[in-house]
Chains A and B, each alone.
Chain A
């Protein structure tokens, strides 16, 4: 069972999160936790590639934004002359499919490179996507993008209300997390870690290293696509800046800073990031500084994460991937 791989502290956190709507304000639920779960999910998709596959891909935020764009284009938005108004059961799966195909295609190009070149080629494609969406008005509505992109009303629930949206993002983040925990101990996941550690040896064991890496991109793209749709719903809009270079870098920071070993890491750092983003201008004002310098606080915060990452992000020490063993069941 997947649940065997999850350490006790995570169970405790899970229970606390389930009860959170009884404790926290709507603002905290929607703006802090909702956003953290979404950023954490997108960053998790990068953690899969970088942590298990050894491939630092900067395309994950773009994959997420593309899924959001497809939802806006095929579903409904405030731009009826472009949006097709297809029903949710059609446009959501299509959005995930299209974003996954795109991410896999980028992966197919990127796996031919290593290290810094992977970063460069994915960054180049991310930048190209940003400028393309900004200049293309026929499909992506250029600079303005799409507003009024909201989740469908299902089961009589407005999913953009704080509490339903909280549970929606929590559910999606949890499923993504469990999928990654599960994957890490499957033959696919074990082999992916083998490819990361010694690709030449893996091909000498009969594995096609290229195929394995490309499929890792496909797996990660599905997760990023879910995150992207939620992000667009939360903002109720998708614009070129949804996947601008600063956003791409934010995802990199959330996924990578402080270690790549544990799939819970991106969520913890996404929460830190959301808290700092939302409250840093207040902190600065309290010290008599300009609130516009909030990026300074975020930067310092992440420096602290790097210095104290052993304590801050590995409090759940048992989360170390090598401590889990599928084969321990025998």
Chain B
């Protein structure tokens, strides 16, 4: 996925001498109290101009697990607003962006260092929803590409204010169409909070995803030591663990089981557990369990956010570089050695000093008979060209007089 917006922000700040565009690149600190320092983001000092639907207050939604932001709400002379434009949330809050009108996106202008929110670069229409769980504290500024000039900008402030903690789940793209198996349609963006309970039930094979192909709830938050009871309510499902925190050793249920089967497991290790049903993976039968405690988000499913190439964090890089560094030279060396042995490869180009052997060319071509200038009449060519001209004329008549002049309204003089 393109990381362009954030990096562009930095590049522009660095490269622009006469800063005619974006101002507020700094100011990511979180101030105590209601308003954060947006560095002029909502005023006419920064790109896009004034955000008319920003009234100066930052809506305080700390302490809530999920917060909704409307995309394309009424404002700025049309449906060109984020509502609320400035909102404060606790770390670990999942912000659900709901499109209520057409042709908007979310381009991240600026975010705290260490955060890697990518926004939504593709233009989406009314009805689309997108969720992101904000972990890193600081100020995140974003805008809508097509409507930047109308002042469609927003900000999310993470941290400060009141509100609970306990860490929060980061599902990455597990529930989206970028995650393996595709979109989990029965995931509505909310994580069901069952902390404080020692026994929790998850239905396996509940209604959803076009049949009985869902875990319910798909996203669950529990405390360490909670026993989760998985109850099969339809046939042919299993539980395959995709990812779990380091140190955990949950094995899921690899055998296919049918309606009525139950299985329990007590989750101790904090972090994010991702699992899916093998036969119904392609239908989106996936789920996750987040166990609170320690630092949130064990990095599960953090890599590969769609797009052409994987995110290049150290882990991915090591997986690519390591084996490549061994395999590629080995294979290349073998092939070269084999070719050398066969006499197919020459390294003359390395031996600068030596005079290369003179190249022998094929003998000069002698034609069967020589036709001189005065003896030559290209009558075959004349015939071919005549045929070609005839084809051109016919084609032109058909395309210009019949197809073009005969069809449809034209631009009139």
| Chains A and B bind each other | no
